[in-house]
A and B are shown apart, each in its own frame.
Chain A
Amino acid sequence: MTSLGAAVRRAAPVFACIGLLAVWQVASLALKNDSFPTAIEAIRAIPDILGDKESLINILASLRRMAIGFSVAVLVSIPLGLLMGRSRAVAAFFNPFLMVIYPVPKAALMPIIMLWLGVGDITKTLVIFLGVSLPVIYHSFEGAQAVEEKMLWSGAAMGLSPLQRLVRIVLPAALPEILTGCRTGLVLALITMITSEMIARQSGAGNILFNALDMGQYDTVFAMIIIVGAMGICLDAIFERVRARLVRWSEPQFDMPLSFS
């Protein structure tokens, strides 16, 4: 009984996908609108896109920018967030900047960045970098702040220097929180990637989508939405696998029933 329940739970996302596609199909057939192709038509267009060399190059270019923007953001944001969490002076210096940058939609900065850096890779990667940085800094900061003082004292008594304590105690202790920030950052990387390509249309997955829209190829538009969505789901699932492995030690040990179940 329980194993059946577990199997159903694991397959739930698949059912959700099928359900959504079915609703789409029915809605599209009912509305009979040219700009709203059926799910089956959209899915049929996917192999054409993935089979086209030009489109593949575009999608891979998108992914490359996203990978670079995300990696650089994570590499910069984690140390910065941890330092801010452990040093009042560092926090006092950076907090005002972050408070100003945080609520600004990063895509809104694109026109200025384009003006200075052009419409190429650097601009788009920079926007992705900005989008990913803030949640990662914020969660690293929160995680570092929450590290028990006595844990650091224990390390100090063993002879760890301040830098060693930051790398060998604060970093692992804050890792669950940091990875929560990285997961949010990953989704934001995908969003800013597409947005940046919508604004600076030169190459990329977002460019294919909007070119198709301009030309009225609605099945391609919807196929691209499915492709981008699938990319997001896959990246998130892979990341979640890695995250769960890295912080196994911190997961709650019993499955507590939820309050409303």
Chain B
Amino acid sequence: MRVVPSRSSEWVNPVTSQRPASAIIEIDRVSQVFQTSARKDHLALSDISLTIEEGAFVSILGPSGCGKSTLLYIVGGFVNPTSGVARMKGQTITGPGPDRGPVFQEFALFPWKTVLGNVMYGLRQQGVPATEAGAQSQALIEMVGLKGYENFYPKELSGGMKQRVALARTLAYHPEVLLMDEPFGALDAHTRTRLQNDLLNIWERDRKTVLFVTHSVDEAVFLSDKVVMMSKSPGRIRQVIDIDLPRPRRRSELLLDPRYQKYVVDIERMFDEVDETGSPS
């Protein structure tokens, strides 16, 4: 392991501090140590550096325990890295903010609010008047296909519908980056495919930057411009694969495309390798 200065916020990497014009997120030599017990430290992330370009759909793929969600939480500002630094548009990330909108596997909806109340929440927080926020939220609810469910409570919705609400709730306050943490992981296969299609349709309209954590190879290939393959113990970036497939992507066409199939087969093989061997140290 490389020695990383502990006072990470004051430390500037001479190479990466000159940020490319299109870079929106820079992860700069980030390491994360979790204390599992008084004596044992667990190195969840080891010296991760990654640049994400504006408007890119980037998936972080890896076996469970590789720290891929932790990396997303660091970008979200929910977790502070042990060393290294994450930047958003050149600014060091010190906490959560409305420029980075999370969507979690657990949905994390506000159960005491209706669908409309959930979607409006962020806008109201930003001081948008109720009628204006209501109109914008209504449009988003229609976009995610939940027209007619405005006054339902989360408990009355299926898992897929809850995740649609969660996506609309986050899109509502116009974050520049979407941080999606295995968003379709808790859904059944059919619902999952439908939400992937809908997410792509929505994304292809305004091409927001998306950081998408998943452990599904075909989900990563189908959605992304770039797949970041991680290995575990300690969590490291194994390889970054550009997915050079045309957009807009249609599932029916893509599944028959030999290039898509090759990406899936190659990445699956790599996944098997990292899952068996872990990170070379």
Contacts and interface: CB of A to CB of B under 8 A. Distances in A.
Interface in A132-157: 148, 150-151, 153-154, 156-157
A127 interface: no
A100 to B, nearest CB: 28
B110 A172 contact: yes
Q: How large is the interface on A (under 10, 10 to 19, 20 to 34, 35 or more residues)?
A: 10 to 19
Nearest to A247: B112
Interface in B88-122: 95-98, 100-102, 104, 106, 108-113, 121-122
Contacts of A250: 111-112, 155
Contacts of A178: none
Given A249-B155, A250-B155, A157 B108 contact: no
A198 interface: no
A163 to B, nearest CB: 13
B156 interface: yes
A157 B110 contact: no
Q: How large is the interface on B (under 10, 10 to 19, 20 to 34, 35 or more residues)?
A: 20 to 34
> For chain A, what secondary structure do more than half of its interface residues adopt (helix, strand, loop), or is it mixed?
helix
Nearest to B107: A150
A94 to B, nearest CB: 25
Interface string B67-79: 0000000001110
B277 to A, nearest CB: 32
Given A249-B153, A250-B112, A250-B155, A157 B102 contact: yes
B104 A156 contact: no
Contacts of A249: 111-113, 153-155
Contacts of B154: 249
A119 interface: no
Contacts of B113: 249
B155 A253 contact: yes
A184 B155 CA distance: 26
A149 to B, nearest CB: 8
Closest 9 CB pairs of A and B: A150-B108, A156-B96, A158-B122, A150-B104, A157-B96, A172-B112, A151-B108, A249-B153, A158-B125
